[in-house]
Amino acid sequence: MNDFIIFTDSSCDISPETLGEWGVSYSSLTFTFDDSEKQFTNDEMSAVDFYNKMREGHSAKTSAVNVESFVKSFEPHLSAGHDVLYLGFSSGLSNTYNSGRIAAEQLRISYPERKIIAVDTLSASAGFGLLLYLAVQKKESGASIDETASYVRDTVPHLCHWFTVDDLDYLKRGGRISPTVAFIGKALGIKPVLHMDNEGHLINMSKVRGRKASLDALADKYGQLAEDPENGTVFISNGDCAQDVEYLSNVLHDRYNAKVKLVTYVGPVIGAHTGPGVLALFFIGKER
């Protein structure tokens, strides 16, 4: 009845082991350092090593997954008789989803009897991961591919991404943030509080003074927006800043009795644009 597989890409920042447990297949985005041609995937370099390289001053660039690669990845599942639900990285930040969508269109011609559904999650990092986790649960509860896809689409506008970065220069350099708000990093110690909007773009919402204030501001947003603060599923991803993760988890617990279900690293694909010290909180809210 629900003989389909969920397919994703590596920007969901869920470890290969966990994805394996969830029964999710994936394609990898790649990254390179400085002007080198050598391409890496998340599986080939640990997040800690990656951030240490960034701290040394190396800059990383990322590449989207191309159409060809998706075709190659989807095809074995289709020929084995499985339908494919592809959940893709926000089209507001990468061409990866578009490649997956084109691949799906092409394959529909070769496999007219199979369902291939591509959903733009308009999400990133462990927010994307959280959506994936919920989709897997939906599937396990017996939902069909169509039901799962429409559940995901309905959940997208409620998937809150709230995050802060230690150094705004990375976002500015990567052009991943609109220039009208780029002036905010001028004063020393100013930290932005950002989120991902309904179109999957990174938006600066406010600026606060000091790291701790920025972490508190993330907790404030949780209090304002979380649909079920006590029992909702909460994911956190981070750019190698375990202490701050602990601080935020404690604040969430003390204030809202919230439990953080999963802590992951922000992988290189996103990390290349945020730099070390990024800390992101994901949950289901009344609105994004």
Partner 1 sequence: MFKPKKKAEITENKKEPYNLKYLGGWLMAKMAFGGAARLRSNTEEVNRLNVFPVPDGDTGDNMRMTIESGIAAIEDLDSDDLAEVMKVFSHGMLLGARGNSGVILSQFFSGTAKGFEGTDKADPSTLGRALEMGVKQAYNSVMTPTEGTILTVAREAVEYAVSSITPQSTIRSFFSDLAKEMHESLKRTPESLAVLKEAGVVDSGGAGLLYIIEGFNNVLNGEEVSRESLQIQAPAKAVSVRMDFDSESRMEYGYCTELMIQLMKYKTDVDAFSVGPLREYLAGIGNSIVAFKTDSLVKVHVHTFEPEKVLEYCRQFGEFVSVKIENMSIQHTGLADHDHDHDDEEAEPKQYGVVSVSNGSGIESLFRELGADEIVEGGQTRNPSTNDFLDAFRKINAKTIFVFPNNSNILMAASQAAELYDRSSVIVIPSKSIGTGYAALSVADFSDPDPEAIKKGMIDAMSSVVSAYLSPTVRDALINGINIKKGDIIGVIEKSIVLASPDCREAAGSLAEKLVKDNGKTMLTVFIGKDTDDDEVSDVKNEIEEKCPGCEIYYIDGGQEVYPYLFLAE
When asked if residue 188 is in the footprint of partner 1 (CB under 8 A), the reply is: yes
Q: What is the DSSP letter of 91?
A: T
Stretch that binds partner 1, among 58-66, 131-139, 157-165, 204-212 (CB under 8 A): 204-212
When asked if residue 55 is in the footprint of partner 1 (CB under 8 A), the reply is: no
When asked if residue 35 is in the footprint of partner 1 (CB under 8 A), the reply is: no
* Residue numbers 90-129 binding partner 1 by CB under 8 A: none
* Residue numbers 158-177 binding partner 1 by CB under 8 A: 169, 173
Q: Which of 34, 210, 254, 259 binds partner 1 (CB under 8 A)?
A: 210
When asked if residue 132 is in the footprint of partner 1 (CB under 8 A), the reply is: no
Stretch that binds partner 1, among 26-34, 111-119, 186-194, 267-275 (CB under 8 A): 186-194
When asked if residue 286 is in the footprint of partner 1 (CB under 8 A), the reply is: no
Closest CA to 239 of 188, 164, 180: 164
Closest CA to 4 of 154, 159, 152: 152
When asked if residue 201 is in the footprint of partner 1 (CB under 8 A), the reply is: no
* Residue numbers 69-88 binding partner 1 by CB under 8 A: none
| Token pair of 87 as six digits | 């959940």
When asked if residue 182 is in the footprint of partner 1 (CB under 8 A), the reply is: yes
Stretch that binds partner 1, among 58-66, 69-77, 153-161, 201-209 (CB under 8 A): 201-209
| Token pair of 232 as six digits | 């909702």
How many H-runs (helices) and E-runs (strands) does the chain carry?
Answer: 10, 12
When asked if residue 190 is in the footprint of partner 1 (CB under 8 A), the reply is: yes
When asked if residue 211 is in the footprint of partner 1 (CB under 8 A), the reply is: yes
Q: What is the DSSP letter of 54?
A: H
Q: Which of 130, 208, 236, 269 binds partner 1 (CB under 8 A)?
A: 208
Ordered DSSP codes for 215-281: HHHHHHHHHHHBSSTTTS-EEEEESS-HHHHHHHHHHHHHHH---EEEEEEPPHHHHHHH-TT-EEE
CB of 186 to partner 1, least distance (A): 6
Closest CA to 132 of 148, 114, 144, 117: 148
Q: Which of 183, 246, 250, 254 binds partner 1 (CB under 8 A)?
A: 183
Nearer to partner 1, 156 or 181 (CB): 181
Q: Which residues pair with 265 in a beta bridge?
A: 238
Q: Which of 60, 124, 130, 181 binds partner 1 (CB under 8 A)?
A: 181
When asked if residue 212 is in the footprint of partner 1 (CB under 8 A), the reply is: yes
Q: Give just the sign of the alpha carbon dihedral 267, 272, 278, 281.
A: negative
When asked if residue 58 is in the footprint of partner 1 (CB under 8 A), the reply is: no
> What's the 3-state SS for 158-202?
HEEEEEECCCCHHHHHCCCCCHHHHHHHCCCCEEEEEEECCCCCE
Residues that bind partner 1 in the complex, under the rule CB under 8 A: 169, 173, 180-183, 186-190, 206-213
